[in-house]
Structure 1
Amino acid sequence: MIKIGDFNKLEVKRETSFGYFLDGKTSNSKDDILLHKRFIGHNKIELGDVVNAFIYIDSEGRRTATLIPPKGKVDEICYLKVVAHTKIGSFIDIGLPKDILVPFKAKTYDLEKGNRYLFNIYLDKTGRLAATTDIDSLLTTDHSYNIGDTVSGIVYGFQTNNSAMVCVDNKYAAVILANEYFTDLKHGDKLENLRVIKIYEDGKLGLTPRQERKNELDSLESQIIDYLKSNDGHMNFNDKSSPEDISKEFKSSKKNFKRALGVLMKKDYIYQNENGTYLK
């Protein structure tokens, strides 16, 4: 049986001036699948060879083969670019001659042309490749990560409390709680150097983009000093400033900001009053 939207090991049955025909697995040569010479890539093939071909339905409804691997296959989470918006939905580049459709009903959030997002590739009712941003059904928690490990991930959604849902390695479910990040995150953002700080009972990874406390405080102290130096030794921020203002300017929690100010005052680098903070 031929798997549409996936790789199949098929015998090369016939050669023509424009390519080859692969065994269609029906014992009827009319069902053999065209492998156009444009889609052989750098491979060299001969009659009787068994090739690992990706099979899909082309724009004319025919089964078609390529030896050039696409950027994804059915039931696989892929990070792909949106290349067009139309009246029937959006199209994404999967590395095939024709881009594939993301129907309006298959979008769980707005897509911007030129940006990349995570998609679940599936077959529509006609057997053609299509995609959806709903990737939850393909996510797993069967990983081997431990607390303290560093991973990368892609944002694919947000919970009602603004915690960011993240996919690690295009397969593992993870979350960054709202109080763990201080920059604006968007769907499709690719995040590097995330630390595993918790593994939930269901196996989901708890992540943070923040450094370990000591390193984060050291970095924040330097950031505060640099800010003061670039503003004539004064800033309006102090330990009474609002968490929102601190987060916006320093990408830090108020708790850590106050700690950093305290350390700098103990080191006798700064002092503060009701008007702000000053370099000594």
Structure 2
Amino acid sequence: MKLPLFTVSEAERRLLPGATLRGPTLYVIAIMTFAMMIVAAAGLTLANAAGIVAGAVEHRYVLQLNDGGGGKLEAAVGAAHAIPGVTSVEPVSQQEMRRTLERWLGPGGVGNELPVPAIIHLDVAPDADPNAVGKALERSVPGAHFIAEQATVRPLLGSLRALRWLSVALVLLMAAATGAAVILAARGALDTHRSTIEIMHGIGATDEQVAKLFQRKIALDAMAGALAGGAAAAIGLLIIAGSGAAMASDLAGSSPLRTSDLIILALMPLAAVFLATLVARAAVLSALRAAP
């Protein structure tokens, strides 16, 4: 099946001497496609990570006891079980808290004289009012503090989302830079073959017919470059995935990149080819119509 964007007759092909698959367009498209796919993969991974973190803490809360000694923790656990809307109660004892703190402060960083709060992880039903649950718990357990885990991870989620939009902006900027490079390459080709274009106009060729020749040459270069850049990016992502995908899947509970993400990445080289082809056609037609 022949695509009209890339096909010309043999006679038309001979009008533009010089081999295809050479020149700056191929290398620019290859580099930009590689960079866009890597940046897009990073952005998609960050978006998935933000979604996983947000979903994990959406209905997750913490009841903090500044003094968890004695039977206060057990009493708080019993009170939490009795509150309507609480679906899960997971207490964390002072001993567990001390062991966790020792990983950061060292074995001697947490002495017996240092007060360590006890905490209880709570899951609240989606249809329950967390404010009402929190007030009921704080009334039942004097001195306790009801904290939403969303509040503690909000800075992390904000950073992940900011990095995701930064990735989107970088991909768009690289696409714009690719279009600018194609415009320069198309205008350079026009200047190189100016005499041929004048002869074609002299025998009745239209601007559309002339533009089709340059469009085909740049499209072939763009296709070769996009395939090369896409293949290099795929190999790089496979190497990265092979070294850390198992750990990332265990931490996140799912693969860093979903099937829809892989489809988007696979379509990016094709999008780069059509972007280069359409930009080249528009640039050539604009230059031909502006010429005296």
Whether these two folds match at TM > 0.5 is no
More helix as a share of residues: 2
Structure with max Cα Rg = 2
TM range (shorter): under 0.3
What TM-score, normalized to structure 1? 0.24
More strand as a share of residues: 1
Higher relative contact order (CA 8 A, sep 6+): 2
